[in-house]
Amino acid sequence: MIKTDVLVIGAGPAGLFAVHQLGIIGLKAEVVDNLDKIGGQCIELYPDKPIYDIPAISECTGESLTKNLLEQVKPFKTNFHLNERVQEISKDKKNWKIVTNKNKIFISPNIIIAGGVGSFEPRKFPVEDAVKFENNGVYYSIKDKNYFKNKKICIFGGGDSALDWAIELSKFAEVILIHRRNEFRGSDNSSKTVTKLEKEGKLKIKTPFQINSIEGQDKLNAITIKTENGKTEKITTDCILGFFGLIMKLGPIVDWGLNLDKKHIPVNTENFQTNKEGIFAIGDICTYPGKLKLILSGFHEAALAARACFKIARPNEKYKFEFSTTSKNMQERLGINKK
């Protein structure tokens, strides 16, 4: 069980800046995100795309913005619980009890929901037994590429993730790249590289094929694939990786008893609190008259929600407004030793 001042749901730009705003006023945060990496939409949907409307930064990319936000929260040594979805929220005396899909439990007086458009979930293999072997032969992301060393791997998909991982894993594993069309959707460069690697005998390509079945008792040991006209082929393999893109689902948030307006959470713009005391919503997931779904709005919302969290986490202390330029406390928390 992990106790914290604030549990932040979502490691997108709004959640990351909330960690900073909480940190400088002396509150500890833990962050949970369903994705395998930090950065939300910026990193998952447009890491290389330029962004031109972050205050005081004339141009950055989704990736560089994420890197800078992470650098800014470094002094607070925050724990990020990735690949984990917040599943349930319930009242536990004066606190909230938060349970993830991996049964991790957090106890916190405050929750900041920075869940964007909901949790990103990988599109899964549409065959029986894919669930049974999930994380034991069937994978949708790679946490540690070394795990796949010297294994026989079938990679499904035609986008950049499938191509890039096929190229990378072919350096030390036996890779078969399988796609339902003859043409790949990924970048020209990656498509050319996989074709070149196939010619050099460093990986195999099978198109147009889709998965048909998964075989194995305790362990996956083979699959069958099929063409559109039903021709099947059996392949022995240690594991299969599916890169079919992501679906965005509001997910379990709908079951937490919060007021919802379509797929958004209405908030009080004084402090970004929802209809439940101690539960705040910021960034793309919150709504109020005039809401702009921009990163800069999420930053402002994070600053106000953080101050409101202070009042709940430290009921016996008075919150004192300070500037970071002059506050010794803030500078100490940021590790800045100015005399």
Ligand X SMILES: Cc1cc2nc3c(=O)[nH]c(=O)nc-3n(C[C@H](O)[C@H](O)[C@H](O)COP(=O)(O)OP(=O)(O)OC[C@H]3O[C@@H](n4cnc5c(N)ncnc54)[C@H](O)[C@@H]3O)c2cc1C
User: Which residues in this chain contact ligand X in the complex, by CB under 6 A?
Assistant: 9-15, 32-35, 40-42, 45-46, 49, 51, 53, 85-86, 114-120, 251-253, 283-284, 293-296, 298
Residue 9 or 176 with smaller CB distance to ligand X: 9
Which position's Cβ is nearest ligand X? Answer: 116
Residue 46 or 147 with smaller CB distance to ligand X: 46
CA-to-CA distance for 169 and 149, rounded, in angstroms?
8
CB of 171 to ligand X, least distance (A): 29
Enter the tokens of residue 131.
């669930």
Give the burial class of 101: count Cβ atoms within 10 A of its Cβ; 0-12 exposed, 13-18 middle, 19 or more buried: middle
CB of 26 to ligand X, least distance (A): 23
CA-to-CA distance for 237 and 328, rounded, in angstroms?
59
Residue 35 or 197 with smaller CB distance to ligand X: 35
User: What b-and-e string marks burial along 150-175, b requiring 16 or more CB atoms within 10 Å of the CB?
Assistant: eeebbbbbbbbbbbbbbbebbeebbb
CB of 108 to ligand X, least distance (A): 14
CB of 118 to ligand X, least distance (A): 5
Cβ 13 vs Cβ 42: under 8 Å: yes
CB of 213 to ligand X, least distance (A): 31
First to last CA, the chain: 39
CA-to-CA distance for 37 and 320, rounded, in angstroms?
35
Residue 15 or 186 with smaller CB distance to ligand X: 15
Residue 117 or 241 with smaller CB distance to ligand X: 117
